[in-house]
Homo-oligomer: A and B are copies of this chain.
Amino acid sequence: MTTVVLADDHQLLRQAVRRALEDAGFAVLGEAGDGEEASNLAGRLQPDVVVMDVTMPVLDGIRATRRIRELAPGARVVMLTMHGEESLLADAIDAGASAFLTKDCSLQEVVKAVRSAADGDVMLSPDLAASLLDQFRDPAADTPAPSPLTKREEEILQLVADGRSTTEVARELFISAKTVKNHLASIYVKLDARDRTQAVLSGVRMGIVHLR
């Protein structure tokens, strides 16, 4: 039988979840009102799953999760959260949480998450999965930032970023050093840079130039 420990600073919510879990056939071994208690309890009882709020007194859910990973390595953590705490999702997963649900989900969702967690799967509500992607997506990636530079200028800027001097770039492209200088000058104007360093940096920020 799958065993569970519950942690939330609201007793009402604990009771509701406990009922739902017990009805679903889980054994709720204990309850805690803060993260400290929760991790201690988990260490002592070694449950299969810990259901926990992210925001709790004393020790927040993220830290508590890390502690549980140490004290009860076999325990999976299902994280509950209020709306507007999406930013914690990545940290939660990073800390080792197996599920992350918003509190406006149904009790059935919680039961399902606990079941998934016990099986070793990771479950997310779909809106949260989307927000996870958003958080990590490179802001420059989706806005391909139509480069103001011409192909040739991009090519030269990349070579400069790779450490080539003006003359080296010229040799590499079989053109005169003067031409390279001219291209650089027009790059500076377009990128509002005063020298190669700033130009390269702008290029990096805009995703035109790639660090090697």
Residue of B90, B112, B120 touching A116 (CB-CB under 8 A): B112
Known: A112-B116, A133-B94, A160-B197. A124 touches B124 (CB 8 A): yes
Mark contacts of A114-137 with chain B using CB atoms, 8 A cut-off: 1 yes-contact digit, 0 otherwise.
001001111111101110110111
Task: Check B124–A122 contact: CB distance below 8 A.
Answer: yes
- Alpha-carbon distance between A153 and B169 when the two chains are bound, in angstroms: 29
* A144 in the interface (beta carbon within 8 A): no
Contact-residue size bin, chain A (C-beta under 8 Å from the other chain):
35 or more
Given the contacts A121-B126, A122-B123, A123-B123, A133 and B90 also touching, CB distance less than 8 Å:
yes
A161: which of B93, B129, B135, B201 is its contact (CB, 8 Å)?
B201
> Which one of A98, A126, A135, A196 has the greatest number of beta carbons of chain B within 10 Å?
A126
Known: A197-B160, A205-B211. A98 touches B122 (CB 8 A): no
A127 to chain B, nearest CB (A): 9
Besides A94-B137, A122-B124, 8 other CB < 8 A contacts? A93-B133, A109-B119, A122-B123, A132-B132, A163-B197, A200-B201, A201-B204, A205-B211
A residues sitting closer than 8 Å to B (CB atoms) are: 90, 93-94, 98, 109, 112, 116, 119-126, 128-130, 132-133, 135-137, 160-161, 163, 194, 196-198, 200-201, 204-205, 211
